[in-house]
């Protein structure tokens, strides 16, 4: 990332050649992140397969880096076609999430493994199933939670749905049950450990009836910190809460409070957890129960093959978004900066990320700390690139570039829209070998 951004000539060339914003992928970083995950499995002696969540990036080049080193998890027919075009084998493709019947038909045709979300989906699958197909059954959060936690998930099966699904499977021997799956949306290590233990018990109970069920897919949710430490996040939260409590300046647009008015916890901003990515997986698998047995050892001794579906954590630092500054001016008592990008290209589901954009200037300016409000290019009051003010070391100028180092591989792709006819970011790839920004191949 640093090498790509230090190469300013190439960057300005790319900006002047292609319509901005640019979404630049860095394939070499995906290798590094993937290796970090697989190292955990090696260290802890766990049989593990990695399926990168395609939904985390629309960049075929980034997905293709997994070829031969892992599989891909697809969530739509477009992603499936892209995975097949990249050259993934059927055994390296799994499908998760809500599925239309035509998507199911495509999956059956490509012989991908289907993570079934509900007995109804399994019914629809049996209707389109010609020949053999492998499935995993996804359990909902309440099936794998510590029972005192009331949090629900919209995905997966409850006990009744799970029982129904098994009944359907008994009637359809052409469908092979490979195991069970879950995805836990939580930063908590202990919750994940509990979930794996519960799902493992469930899988083993299943094996006397379905001996082919040997896979436990523990999903994604390993998190990414985007270059910020937990301590920095704490400092941010601290400062905002103190300002909110004492009536000090929030340094945000119109005193926006990130939800602090209504409750004590910040909302609408993603804060790094203590452990993210492969480190979080290691903490989970290396945790020990009250008898001193390591979770990894239980997985190993029960002959379970672990599958993981990292998304953001796999594409962490594997790209950035570049947007050009259109104009800089004073408005009321604020320094406002109008940028050629909109909020949804920077934020994921309206959650801001804490890392500030980098300012890359065409002409160096003298040092002068400037607190700015970043306005997006949509014709909407709400289109602020961040509600918090951003402090730059020098005064930004029209034609300068802003670079969000957390977005290229993930956020800008997930929620970007073509509202008011603005185009999606131009997808480029920066390769270390050539040091040029190449246009992304489109399937």
DSSP string spanning 55-109? GG---HHHHHTTTTT-EEEE-SHHHHHHHHHHT--GGGEEE-S---HHHHHHHHH
Nearer to other proteins by Cβ, of 91 and 265: the residue is 265
- Nearest approach in angstroms of CB 256 to other proteins is 13
- Nearest approach in angstroms of CB 117 to other proteins is 17
Asked if 241 and 269 touch (Cβ cutoff 8 Å), the reply is: no
Measured at the CA of 372, the angle between CA 366 and CA 373, to 5 degrees, comes to: 155
Nearest to 400 by CA among 23, 12, 21: 12
Q: Which two tokens stand for residue 322?
A: 């570049």
Nearer to other proteins by Cβ, of 101 and 238: the residue is 238
- Nearest approach in angstroms of CB 409 to other proteins is 15
- Nearest approach in angstroms of CB 8 to other proteins is 34
- Nearest approach in angstroms of CB 58 to other proteins is 17
Nearer to other proteins by Cβ, of 159 and 267: the residue is 267
Determine which helix (DSSP H) or strand (DSSP E) holds 175, and give its type and residue range.
strand 175-181
- Nearest approach in angstroms of CB 133 to other proteins is 21
- Nearest approach in angstroms of CB 246 to other proteins is 8
Give the residues lining the site for other proteins (CB under 8 A): 47, 145-146, 148-151, 185-188, 190-191, 204-205, 207-209, 211, 214, 221-223, 230-231, 234, 237-238, 241-242, 244-246, 263-265, 267-268, 270-271, 273-274, 290, 293, 297-298, 300-303, 312, 348-351
Cα separation values, 380 from 70, 376, 377, 383, Å: 42, 9, 8, 6
Determine which helix (DSSP H) or strand (DSSP E) holds 43, and give its type and residue range.
helix 27-44
Nearer to other proteins by Cβ, of 99 and 183: the residue is 183
- Nearest approach in angstroms of CB 38 to other proteins is 17
| Dist. CA 248–CA 285, nearest whole Å | 43
- Nearest approach in angstroms of CB 331 to other proteins is 27
Q: Is 6 exposed, middle or buried (0-12, 13-18, 19+ CB in 10 A)?
A: exposed
Nearer to other proteins by Cβ, of 174 and 190: the residue is 190
DSSP 3-state assignment of 330? strand
Instruction: Convert 237-304 into a string of H (helix), E (strand) and C (coil).
Output: HHHHHHHHHHCCCCCEHHHCCCCCCCCCCCCCEECCCCCCCHHHHHHHHCCECCCCCEHHHHHHHCCC
| Dist. CA 275–CA 188, nearest whole Å | 10
Asked if 313 and 222 touch (Cβ cutoff 8 Å), the reply is: yes
DSSP 3-state assignment of 402? strand
Q: Which two tokens stand for residue 27?
A: 């394939």
Would you tell me the crossing angle of helices 77-86 and 101-110 to the nearest 10 degrees? 20
Nearer to other proteins by Cβ, of 54 and 105: the residue is 54
| Dist. CA 349–CA 411, nearest whole Å | 8
Nearer to other proteins by Cβ, of 228 and 403: the residue is 228
Nearer to other proteins by Cβ, of 8 and 293: the residue is 293
Nearer to other proteins by Cβ, of 88 and 348: the residue is 348
Nearer to other proteins by Cβ, of 43 and 231: the residue is 231
- Nearest approach in angstroms of CB 53 to other proteins is 11
């Amino acid at each position: 990332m640093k090498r790509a951004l230090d190469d300013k000539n190439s960057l300005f060339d790319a900006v002047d050649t292609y319509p901005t914003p640019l979404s630049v992928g860095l394939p070499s970083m995906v290798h590094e992140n993937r290796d970090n995950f697989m190292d955990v499995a090696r260290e802890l002696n766990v049989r593990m397969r990695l399926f990168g969540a395609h939904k985390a990036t629309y960049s075929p080049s980034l997905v293709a880096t997994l070829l031969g080193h892992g599989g891909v998890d697809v969530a739509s027919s477009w992603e499936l076609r892209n995975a097949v075009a990249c050259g993934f084998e059927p055994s390296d493709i799994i499908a998760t999430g809500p599925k239309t019947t035509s998507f199911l038909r495509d999956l059956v045709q490509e012989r991908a493994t289907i993570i079934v979300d509900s007995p109804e989906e399994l019914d629809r699958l049996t209707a389109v199933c010609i020949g053999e197909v492998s499935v995993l059954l996804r359990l909902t959060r309440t099936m794998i939670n510590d029972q005192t936690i009331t949090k629900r998930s919209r995905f997966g099966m409850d006990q009744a749905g799970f029982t129904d699904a098994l009944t359907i499977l008994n009637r359809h021997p052409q469908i092979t049950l490979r195991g069970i799956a879950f995805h836990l949306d939580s930063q908590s290590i202990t919750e994940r450990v509990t979930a794996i233990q519960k799902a493992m018990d469930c899988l083993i109970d299943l094996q006397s009836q379905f001996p082919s069920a040997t896979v436990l897919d523990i999903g994604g949710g390993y998190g990414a910190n985007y270059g910020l430490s937990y301590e920095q996040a704490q400092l941010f939260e601290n400062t905002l809460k103190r300002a909110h409590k004492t009536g000090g300046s929030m340094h945000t647009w119109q005193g926006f409070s990130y939800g602090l008015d209504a409750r004590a916890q910040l909302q609408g901003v993603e804060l790094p957890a203590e452990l993210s990515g492969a480190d979080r997986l290691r903490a989970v698998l290396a945790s020990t129960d009250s008898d001193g047995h390591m979770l990894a050892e239980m997985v190993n001794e029960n002959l379970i093959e672990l599958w993981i579906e990292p998304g953001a954590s796999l594409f962490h630092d594997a790209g950035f978004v570049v947007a050009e500054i259109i104009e800089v001016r004073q408005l009321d008592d604020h320094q406002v900066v109008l940028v050629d990008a909109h909020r949804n290209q920077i934020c994921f589901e309206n959650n801001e990320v804490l890392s500030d954009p980098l300012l890359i200037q065409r002409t160096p300016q003298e040092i002068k700390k400037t607190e700015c409000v970043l306005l997006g290019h949509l014709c909407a009051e709400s289109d602020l690139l961040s509600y918090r003010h951003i402090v730059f070391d020098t005064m930004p100028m029209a034609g300068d570039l802003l670079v969000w180092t957390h977005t290229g591989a993930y956020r800008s792709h997930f929620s970007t829209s073509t509202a008011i006819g603005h185009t999606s970011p131009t997808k480029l790839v920066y390769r270390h070998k050539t040091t040029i920004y190449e246009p992304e191949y489109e399937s």
